[in-house]
């Protein structure tokens, strides 16, 4: 099997799930409330991805936000890590574009191929043809943070490097914003699951961006426990100042210390 096929498959499935979500939102938005619309979208995209992977990669395991499918996962084996709808809340709000579809293939606890669809922006970013981040625009660095749960220490870190915070929804949309040059970094703490970041981290790495835990250690995928406590994605030139600021902040300070 050619690795290139996995890049192409990830991009194609992310796009197909994204088109499914756009069609459903157009058809149902005036008929149901936001929560119902989000739930219906999540379920429809999950079914599309799981059925397609069963047909296209019947020997690979699937780890989705909605459970496991296909053959049982083997240690360090091939597993597709998917989030059918990242940013369910944003998907259900008219006019918002910060929601995404994630499709990633991991093997050996690393992401080998992945794609992130941003359907409302008409974009699919993938590891087969990774985008080249544009030159950083002049002015203060811009750091994407959660619009609903920004970590308290981010203000401390942003001040240390003279950055401004940009609230956004969806981890995939935030990491894609770094890839596309809309912001310069994304800092997250408080925990996510592997499906929240595997695909966008794969694309960010392929695009040449820095990706790590907040203490600078590598991000590891396809573990028995899919919980990931934190992550940092940023332009390469900001990695050192951000990791230094993070090392001096509450983000990496042992609990109980001051």
1 assigned to some structural domain: no
State yes or no: 86 annotated in a binding site.
yes
Q: Is the domain of 50 the same as that of 152?
A: no
11 is in which domain, residue-wise?
6-126
Closest CA to 23 of 35, 41, 36: 41
| Angle, in degrees to the nearest 10, between helices 194-206 and 171-179 | 10
Termini Cα distance of the chain? 52
The torsion angles phi and psi of 256, rounded to 5 degrees, stand at 95, -15
* Mean pLDDT, residues 117-142: 94
| 146 inside domain | yes
Query: What count of Cα atoms within 13 Å lies in the side-chain half-sphere of residue 156?
Result: 14
Q: Answer yes or no: is 65 a known binding residue.
A: yes
Domain boundary among 97, 126, 155: 126
Which pTM does this prediction carry?
0.92
**Are residues 60 and 155 both part of a single domain?**
no
pLDDT in the model for residue 254: 52
Whether residue 257 lies inside any domain: the answer is no
How far, in Å, CA of 22 to CA of 210, rounded? 31
Helix extents (H) in the chain: 3-28, 34-56, 88-91, 154-161, 171-179, 194-206, 239-247
Q: For residue 247, tell me if it sits in a domain.
A: yes
Q: Which residues of 216-251 are buried (b: 16+ CB within 10 A; e: fewer)?
A: beebebbeeebebebbbbbbeebbebbbebbeebbb
Place of tokens 């406590």: 229
- Residue at 131 is within a domain: no
- pLDDT (tens digit per residue) in 140-181: 999 998 887 777 888 889 999 999 999 988 899 999 999 999
Per the CB < 8 A criterion, the answer to whether 147 and 170 are in contact is no
Domain edge (last residue) among 77, 93, 126: 126
Among 191, 192, 184, residue whose Cα is nearest residue 166: 184
> According to the model, what pLDDT value does residue 257 have?
43
CA distance 238 to 177: 15
User: How does the average pLDDT of the chain come out, rounded?
Assistant: 92
37: in domain: yes
Domain-located, residue 258: no
Cβ 49 vs Cβ 64: under 8 Å: yes
pLDDT at 252: 61
Residue 135, domain member (yes or no): no
Q: Is the pLDDT of residue 253 over 70?
A: no
Q: The domain that contains 78 carries what CATH number?
A: 3.30.540.10
Q: What residues contact residue 53 under an 8 Å CB cut-off, 6+ apart?
A: 13, 60, 62, 69, 70, 80, 82
pLDDT value at residue 256: 42
The more confident residue out of 253 and 100 is: 100
Q: Which residue has the higher pLDDT, 11 or 2?
A: 11
Give the pLDDT of residue 108. 96
Q: What is the pLDDT of residue 137?
A: 86
Domain end call among 98, 126, 154:
126
Question: Tokens in use for 185?
Answer: 């970094």
User: pLDDT-based confidence at 3, cuts 50/70/90?
Assistant: low
How much is the average pLDDT of 233-252?
Answer: 90
Q: How many independent structural domains does the chain possess?
A: 2
> Does the pLDDT value for residue 209 go beyond 70?
yes
- Is pLDDT at 227 greater than 60 in this prediction? yes
- pLDDT attached to residue 62: 97
- Strand 67-69 relative to strand 61-64, pairing: antiparallel
Q: What CATH number corresponds to the domain at position 150?
A: 3.40.190.80
Q: Is residue 69 domain-shared with residue 176, that is, in the same domain?
A: no
Per-residue confidence at 258, pLDDT binned at 50, 70, 90?
very low
Q: For 176-208, what is each residue's pLDDT tens digit? A: 999 999 999 999 988 999 999 999 999 999 999
The SS3 call for residue 192 is strand
């Amino acid at each position: 099997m050619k690795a290139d096929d996995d890049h192409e498959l990830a991009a194609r499935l992310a796009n197909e799930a994204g088109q499914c979500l756009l069609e459903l939102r157009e058809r149902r938005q005036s008929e149901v409330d936001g929560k119902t619309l989000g739930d219906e979208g999540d379920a429809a995209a999950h079914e599309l991805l799981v059925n397609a992977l069963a047909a296209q990669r019947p020997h690979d395991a699937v780890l989705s936000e909605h459970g496991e499918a296909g053959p049982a996962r083997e240690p360090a084996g091939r597993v597709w890590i998917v989030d059918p709808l990242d940013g369910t809340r944003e998907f259900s709000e008219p006019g918002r574009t910060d929601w995404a579809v994630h499709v990633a293939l991991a093997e050996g606890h690393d992401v080998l191929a992945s794609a992130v669809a941003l359907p409302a922006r008409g974009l699919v970013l993938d590891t087969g043809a990774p985008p080249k981040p544009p030159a950083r625009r002049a002015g203060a660095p811009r750091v994407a943070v959660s619009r609903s749960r920004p970590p308290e220490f981010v203000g401390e870190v942003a001040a240390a490097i003279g950055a401004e915070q940009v609230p956004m929804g969806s981890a995939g949309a935030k990491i894609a914003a770094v890839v596309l040059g809309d912001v310069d970094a994304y800092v997250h703490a408080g925990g996510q699951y592997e499906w929240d970041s595997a695909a966008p981290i794969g694309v960010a790495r392929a695009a040449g961006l820095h990706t790590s835990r907040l203490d600078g250690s590598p991000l590891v995928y396809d573990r028995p426990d899919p919980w990931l406590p934190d992550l940092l994605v940023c332009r390469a030139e900001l990695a050192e100042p951000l990791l230094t600021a993070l090392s001096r902040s509450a983000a990496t300070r042992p609990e109980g210390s001051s």
